[in-house]
Amino acid sequence: MKILILTHRVPFPQNGGYPIVVCNTIRGLVNLGHDVSLVSLNAKKHRSTALEDDDLLSKIQYRSFDIDASISLVDGLINIFSKNSYNIERYYDQNFEKLLIRTVRNTSYDIIQFEGLFVAPYIDAVRKNCKTKLVYRAHNIEHQIWERLSQQKSDPVKKLYLKLMAKRIKKYEIQQINKFDAIAVFTGQDKSTMMLYGANIPVEIVPVGIDLTRYLPDFSKTEFPSLFFLGSLDWMPNREGIEWFLQTFHNDLAKDELRVKFYVAGNDIPEEFDDYGIMGKVFIQGEVDDGLEFVNSKSIMIVPLLSGGGMRVKIVEGMAMQKCIISTSLGAEGINYKNGVNILIANNREEFLKAIKRCIADEDYCMAVGSNARKLIEEQHDVNKVTNNLVNLYQGLL
């Protein structure tokens, strides 16, 4: 099949959930012999230029288009009085739309896949200019992220603003659902939501898939015990969750109630996070050169997600690296885990504290949880198996 993938950001380098999912999808399709093209918006916020080292580029046709999708304070204030969601509209560019129209007119694709809600503003133009089957990949139920964020806020102004944003995004999401020919979601929860919102097209669960040959743990380089967090803090649920964890356990770590080092790494960590650092105890490292090398070097992964949705790629990656993971039930959503067997679930301070104490005191237990986690990923998240499910969805449309 000839497949076109549309993304709202360049998925290179693969340093976050969205680019990892996109690139693994492309790898899986290429491995199965399909002809894949990628057209990406290159937003100023995520501007990517260093692509030459990625071997995937030699196997696909690739093109990017620069836009400025940043939000200013003035834009945010003006949007309060609009009925539309600026969070979506800021990814619309008339010149990019013209590029897409030329692309779909000049090349006959079997499938065009829209990776997430932020490229949905282009569906009408694509639909008018070709007869290709259009697939929507829902990385999240986007408005749920904003709803859950609003629930965590005590400031009434912030709570009201987030609820307003959630309402507008929900309206937009529901309007788009049946414009596609099929929807691929990561979790059963997301499929149920799509059906509840009136989807009358095929909705299939296609979980996160990863290339297991890239995940090769080396326990001789792992520090035990050690806690770590890895995630991009430009995604608000990540920032909210790790701030809660740092504030909640700062004294425990500082006063040696928890005798373990805690490492925080990821993209876009604000400068004020340096205030959480404790010499010899809490290390705010920022962006790391090699995410998997960082994960390999630590033993216990913390995922304190309080809002958000979909399936967390970092948990799938952590499991593949045989990490012992402590996550909220929301963070582990969509993964067929067994609490205490291949992951530990903690939803409040007491549960996190109990889980951490158990893990740092028993290396054999951590190793067993990590080993079971790897088995789960091999069974259910191997990119080659997962991509077959996606291809079956495609073939059912043709």
* Domains 2-209+383-397 and 213-380 equal at CATH topology level: yes
> Measured in Å, how far apart are the chain's first and last C-alpha atoms?
10
Domain 2-209+383-397: CATH architecture, name and number where available: 3-Layer(aba) Sandwich (3.40)
The dotted CATH code for 213-380 is: 3.40.50.2000
The stretches in the chain having pLDDT less than 70 are: 44-53, 71-86, 309
Q: Rounded to an integer, what distance in angstroms lies between the CA atom of residue 153 and that of residue 335?
A: 27
Residue with tokens 């859950």: 148
Which pLDDT score, from 0 to 100, does residue 46 have?
55
Which pLDDT score, from 0 to 100, does residue 326 have?
98
Please report, for the chain, the start and end positions of each structural domain, with discontinuous segments joined by +.
Answer: 2-209+383-397, 213-380
SS3 assignment, position 330: coil
Which pLDDT score, from 0 to 100, does residue 358 have?
97
Which pLDDT score, from 0 to 100, does residue 197 have?
94
Q: Rounded to an integer, what distance in angstroms lies between the CA atom of residue 276 and that of residue 250?
A: 7
Which pLDDT score, from 0 to 100, does residue 55 have?
83
**Antiparallel, parallel or unpaired: β 300-303 and 282-286:** unpaired
Which pLDDT score, from 0 to 100, does residue 82 have?
56
Give residue-wise pLDDT tens across range 216-232.
Answer: 999 999 999 999 999 98
pTM, full prediction: 0.89
What is the phi/psi pair of residue 34, to 5°?
-85, 155
On the CB side of 123, how many CA atoms lie within 13 Å of its CA?
25
Which pLDDT score, from 0 to 100, does residue 143 have?
83
Q: What angle do CA 210, 213, 215 make, to 5 degrees?
A: 75
Which pLDDT score, from 0 to 100, does residue 89 have?
85
Whether cis (ω within 30° of 0) applies to the bond prior to 13 is yes
